[in-house]
Structure 1
Amino acid sequence: MSKIVLVHGIAQSRKSADTLQPRWANAVIGGVRNAGHGQQADQLREEQLCPQPSIRVAFYGDLFRSPGAQGGATPEPGSTATDDLEERLAQAWLTEAARRASDPKDMRLAQLACAQLQPSAGQQGARSLTRSAVGYLANIRGFAPVGFAFAKAFVENSLREVSSYFTEPSLREAAQERVLNEIDDSTRLVIAHSLGTVVAFEALHRSEHPVALVTIGSPLALKNVIYDRLVPQPPTIPTCVTAWADFVDKNDLVAVHNDLRGDFPPKPGNPDVLASTVWVDNAAQPHDHQAYLTDPRVGQVVVAALQL
């Protein structure tokens, strides 16, 4: 198996482990090099050429792909529970944008949306509100860096993936199994991004292999939407985690801007291995996994976890 297991986030259903692994591995190695550890970066790059590379992606994005679906298509309506969760998540993202969007125009737009969109009654009402919220979100820079049409599809699919994960038990189980299948005694570090932090967190509660954990752009602490649906409840640091570092960009609207230490205590009798959240600056791509992974502080954590 691998020293490092990478767990991707939302909107990867049209990708594969083979397409993601080179980009993610290169970003991790780049972060190590940016941290001033050129020799260790070279070592990791050489190990990637081995039959059993040091860095592998636990891919679960295909679980969200509907048979016959076309890329960018609007997801089919789901159950009442799914629609309700999508509505809650869309409202939560708008609330975050209204509170802390860096662009004043984005903040005003989000504030207007929050004032106009009220919680709905019934499944049809939930879908209508969600469609309206998607339109607002797709015009906010954090969600629309490359144009409205792309952002609208991104937001729609992201909402559907998060809600599907929490409302479809078989999908949830399968996603966690993808992570657990990549972890064994040789694994030293799990790095997870976005929705992948949720999948990894729940999977690690089922693992006995000691690993360090890095979360980037994580929505784990999003109350009333994600945090309250995590397993186990109340959420605690997985017993197998020997160290946990969390990184958040100040403009990442998908992530929650709270120090996770207040929401994820250790289990009774276990050490508190969760460090204070580290704030990073990913410039124009606040939720981009490559921007997170190439940050020198993330690279330093990688070196420490692998004891390179």
Structure 2
Amino acid sequence: MARVICVHGIGQQFSGERDQHLRWCAAIADGLTRAGVSAAGSALAPADVSCVFYGDLFRPPGRVLAAQDPPWDASDVDDAGDDAYEAELLFALWEEAARTDSAVVPPQARTLARTPRSVQMALDALSRSRFFAGLAMRGLIADLKQVRGYLCDQDTYARVQQRVAAAVTDRTQVVIGHSLGSVVAYEALAAHPEWSVRSLLTLGSPLGIRNLVYDRLRLPTGGAPGDWPGPVTDWTNLADAGDVVALVKDLRPLFGDRVEGQLVHNGSRAHDATRYLSTDGAGRAVARGCGLL
């Protein structure tokens, strides 16, 4: 019966509900403190926060926590015909990384044919970026496949959405979505205008990426990408200038001027959910939604 529902992003297949809850609760409390909400710990108790977990859907069966991702390489990135989604997303990330990081060599026109060789060049370029520092190639490829799995596979989409719907109750006031979780949250709210949720908080969101994300959003019959997300009256979107996943920082041109957009600074971990949550902007959004301000 949580007041705040949290939806994580990609790369969480080796995490779990309790792990997510521990980290997100602490960061939410810090954000409330930054926002000037007194006695943040008692204003929003751990029991008031619930983390929807779906990372296990992307964890191959029989794997243990210490295992590594499959030894994928450039040949495993789909890059042809109707299956070119992973390569298209990879190149969008490459272009954005090059724009924000001088250490990343930008893609040239000759690489845009999306060949196996150009996919390898994109992976090599991203491996040198600050944003993807420490992430092995197989990890990046796994993340691409998770995004494709949710956006392009109806069964995966349905299973994730079922978990969100099971978590939301009449007591839920705020939904928070990080990274791919912001897409999940937006689609869930759009599909359930009957919910009593008042506020949506999106963090490091890829919702504004045309063709690859925005134009693939699934709305109820008669709806279209860009529609206001169902019952919410308040939508705050936070983006770090160096967050490659949040390629489009300002969502207002696509979703309307009612979206309150803020640029934040998360340091070397631009896409980190807890760094987003600990900002005063996140704290104010949660506090407004919960009636604490």
TM-score (ref. length: structure 2): 0.88
Check 1:230–1:75 CA distance in 2 against 1; reply closer, same or farther (3 A cut): farther
CA–CA separation in structure 2 for the residues paired with 1:116 and 1:16: 42
Question: Mean alpha-carbon deviation: is it higher for 150-159 or for 28-37?
Answer: 150-159
Say what the alpha-carbon RMSD is for the aligned residues: 2.1
Which range moves more in the overlay, 221-230 or 235-244?
A: 235-244
Aligned to 2:70: 73
Answer yes or no: is the 8 Å Cα contact 2:72–2:138 preserved in 1: no
User: 2:251 is matched with which residue: 253, 260, 282?
Assistant: 260
Distance 1:133 1:291 in 2: 27
Distance (Å, rounded) in 1 between the aligned partners of 2:242 and 2:157 = 28
Alignment correspondent of 1:268: none
Unmatched tracts of structure 1, length 5 or more: 266-271
Q: Secondary structure at the match of 1:220?
A: coil
- For residues 138-157 of structure 1, the aligned pairs below 5 Å read 138-144=127-133, 147=134, 150-157=135-142
Corresponding position of 2:124: 135
CA deviation profile, 1:191-245 (whole Å, cap 9, x unmatched): 1100001111111112221321000100001012111111123331122122100
> For the residues of structure 1 that align with 2:95 and 2:70, how far apart are their CA atoms?
26
**Residue matched to 1:236:** 227
CA distance in 1, matches of 2:70, 2:8: 21
Give the aligned residue type for 1:64: F
Deviations 1:119-169 (A, max 9, x none): 23xxxx4x554343222212111111xx3xx34233111111111112211
**Residue equivalent to 2:277:** 293
Are 2:162 and 1:168 equivalent residues in the alignment?
no
Bigger CA drift: 256-265 or 27-36? Answer: 256-265
Q: More displaced, 184-193 or 197-206?
A: 197-206
Match of 2:185 in 1: 200
The match for 2:236 among 245, 267, 275 is 245
Question: Distance between the aligned counterparts of 1:175 and 1:129, measured in 2?
Answer: 32
Q: Is the 8 A contact 1:94 1:133 kept in 2?
A: yes
CA distance in 1, matches of 2:25, 2:167: 15
Say yes or no: does 1:284 pair with 2:268. yes
From 50, 54, 62, give the equivalent of 1:60.
54
Listed as ranges, the gaps of 5+ residues in structure 2 are none
2:206 to 213, 216, 219: 219
Indicate the larger mover: 190-199 or 78-87. 78-87
Give the distance between the partners of 2:249 and 2:33, measured in 1 at CA: 29
Instruction: Describe the shift of the 1:75–1:201 C-alpha distance in structure 2 as closer, same or farther (beyond 3 A).
Output: farther
| Count of residues in correspondence between the two structures | 280
In structure 1, distance between residues paired with 2:96 and 2:225: 23
- The answer to whether the Cα contact below 8 Å between 2:252 and 2:258 also exists between their aligned partners in 1 is no
CA distance change for structure 1 residues 187 and 134 in 2, over 3 Å: closer, same or farther?
same
8 A contact 2:3–2:173 mirrored in 1: yes
Aligned twin of 1:104:
102
SS in 2 for 1:38: coil
The amino acid across from 2:280 in the alignment is: P
Q: Give 1:115 shift.
A: 4.2
User: For 2:141 and 2:248, how far apart are their aligned partners in 1?
Assistant: 23
TM-score for both structures, normalised by structure 1? 0.84
User: 1:177 pairs with 128, 137, 162, which one?
Assistant: 162
